[in-house]
Amino acid sequence: MADHTNNEKITKYRKPLNTNIGMIIFGVLFIYIIICMIMYVKTDHLSGYEVKNGSLTVNNVYRGIAIREEKLHQSNSAGYIYYFMPEGSHVACGDLVYAIDSAGALAELAQTETNESELTNSDLADLKSKIINYRSNFDITNFSTVYDFKHELQNEVAKLNNLSTLHAIDNLSSASGVNKYYSDSPGALVFSTDGYEELTADTITTEHFNEEAYSKRLFLTNDLVGNGDTIYKLVTDEDWELVIQVPVERVQELVDAEYVQTKFLKDQFVLWGKVTVYGLTEDGKSQFVGLSFTTSMISYITERFLDVELVLEEDTGLKIPNSAIAEKNFFLVEKKYLHQSNINGKDGVLRETYTEDGDITTEFIETTIYNVEDDIYYLDESVLQIGDVLHMEDSAETMTVSKQASLVGVYNINKGYADFKQIRILYHNDEYSIVESNTMYGLNAYDHIALDASSVVDDQFVYE
């Protein structure tokens, strides 16, 4: 019986390719998104800033040195000194100021009189007033004033004690060793010295403001003094001056004001000071400015350093960050060469050009005006070149583009691209500037500008 072999060939069935249009669209969109993300990351972005009205917070507080007409007085004998006039009081020529006890007789008398005397209600009220006033104005950052206050109270108490014995001095014999001394000139008494008595406003230096090197010597009643020792000083003129250090960029503002309202932070008292400008500081960043006063010298007679606030009018306008400010060059074109298009009414110039046959003709070039000064227009460099010849309409007169000037401004991004706008800066500090608002070709409130002008190129599109 014959063997039968199965020679049938089996062929695998291939499924037809089914195109899924949804997957294709998704893939294309995915690739597009990836490309956009890569482009976004690699593209320089302009950060925007919304312009608003505002004012600058300016530090107008300064520490100054008081300059007065001061005259030192020396002792005419040796011994223990007793003052009979309070510090800050005015003395006339011939008034009793102090006595020198060379033998101890006055000390014994003063002890007896003191034990028998009591402070009056007026004396107590005066002391209480001084304590309350100091407490209300005490600043912990200026602790050295504690010693000045201590000195003031010591002199006040000593004055009260010494006045109680003054009437008994005449009963002492000439051999007691007590000598009385009278003022040889009028003035206001100060019982301290600091080496600044000869200092003048035009010789002051930055070193004089170094309070770590500053020292004051106090004169107290009952101190032992030698013949010829300095024992007090007189301020002989009511006119005085406070010298402060002002940043160079602010000096002109004070000069223009001429008189500046000055608030003394010690007691909040306000005076008008006449401005005088002296030399620059050693680093050239500040300038010494004197504020002259004709009253209230006696209120600050014991203090060499005073903190004051200059009460100036705040400049208000559009507040913008300094990082947004840029400077850009422009061509200067006279007004008579500016024309308006007959088609769209936009501004432009007639620039000389040539036909294919070599004939001279003109073409209208649309331009943007960025500023106008005395019939001189500032036109963008991007549409003109040095050497271009401009024609006056209906005239044979021409001009060649060559003159340039720069403008300070910012890049306005309201329309989605960077457009330069001129600004007029009224005032500035380290971070912000105040610029004039509602100017022609300038900024308005709520405009958006590029925050960093250094990263902007003209007509750059905005990617926020």
Q: What is the pLDDT of residues 188-244, one digit of tens each?
A: 999 999 999 999 999 999 999 998 899 989 888 788 899 999 999 999 999 999 999
pLDDT of the residue at 439: 82
pLDDT of the residue at 14: 63
CA 169 to the chain's CA centroid: 57
Calculate what percentage of the chain has a pLDDT beyond 70.
Answer: 78
Give the strands of the sheet with 425-428, arranged side by side.
52-55, 316-321, 432-435, 425-428
Query: Is there a contact between 178 and 100 (Cβ–Cβ < 8 Å)?
Result: yes
Name the one residue in this structure whose structure tokens are 């690699």. Answer: 42
- Tell me the per-residue pLDDT of 426-453, one tens digit each, with 9 for 90 and over: 877 778 888 888 888 888 888 989 888 8
Angle (nearest 5°) at CA 5 between 3 and 8: 160
pLDDT of the residue at 121: 67
Q: What is the Cα gyration radius of the chain?
A: 42
pLDDT of the residue at 115: 47
* CA-CA-CA-CA dihedral for 20, 23, 29, 30, to nearest 10: -150
pLDDT of the residue at 197: 94
Who has greater pLDDT, 376 or 27? 376
Confidence of residue 81 (pLDDT cuts 50, 70, 90): confident
Instruction: Name, of 111-120, 142-151, 167-176, 440-449, the range with top average pLDDT.
Output: 440-449
Name the one residue in this structure whose structure tokens are 């005419």. Answer: 76
pLDDT exceeds 80 at position 13:
no
What mean pLDDT do residues 318-335 have? 91
H runs (alpha helix) in 121-227: 121-137, 145-166
pLDDT of the residue at 441: 82
Instruction: Name, of 123-127, 158-162, 344-348, the range with top average pLDDT.
Output: 344-348
Query: Is there a contact between 376 and 415 (Cβ–Cβ < 8 Å)?
Result: no
- Tell me the per-residue pLDDT of 199-210, one tens digit each, with 9 for 90 and over: 999 999 999 999
User: Which of the 8 DSSP states describes residue 141?
Assistant: G
pLDDT of the residue at 194: 92
- Tell me the per-residue pLDDT of 18-32, one tens digit each, with 9 for 90 and over: 667 777 888 888 888
pLDDT exceeds 70 at position 170:
no
pLDDT of the residue at 209: 93
Confidence of residue 455 (pLDDT cuts 50, 70, 90): confident
Number of neighbouring beta carbons within 10 Å of residue 250: 18
End-to-end CA gap in the chain? 91
- Tell me the per-residue pLDDT of 17-69, one tens digit each, with 9 for 90 and over: 566 777 788 888 888 888 878 776 666 666 788 888 877 766 789 999 999 99
Q: Where on the phi/psi map is residue 417: left (φ > 0), alpha (ψ -120 to 50), or beta?
A: beta
Confidence of residue 345 (pLDDT cuts 50, 70, 90): confident
Confidence of residue 145 (pLDDT cuts 50, 70, 90): low
Please count the residues of the chain. Answer: 464
pLDDT exceeds 70 at position 176:
no
Q: Which two tokens stand for residue 101?
A: 């006890």
Angle (nearest 5°) at CA 402 between 396 and 407: 120
Q: Which of 367, 437, 351, 363 is nearest to 400 (CA)?
A: 351
pTM above 0.75, yes or no: no
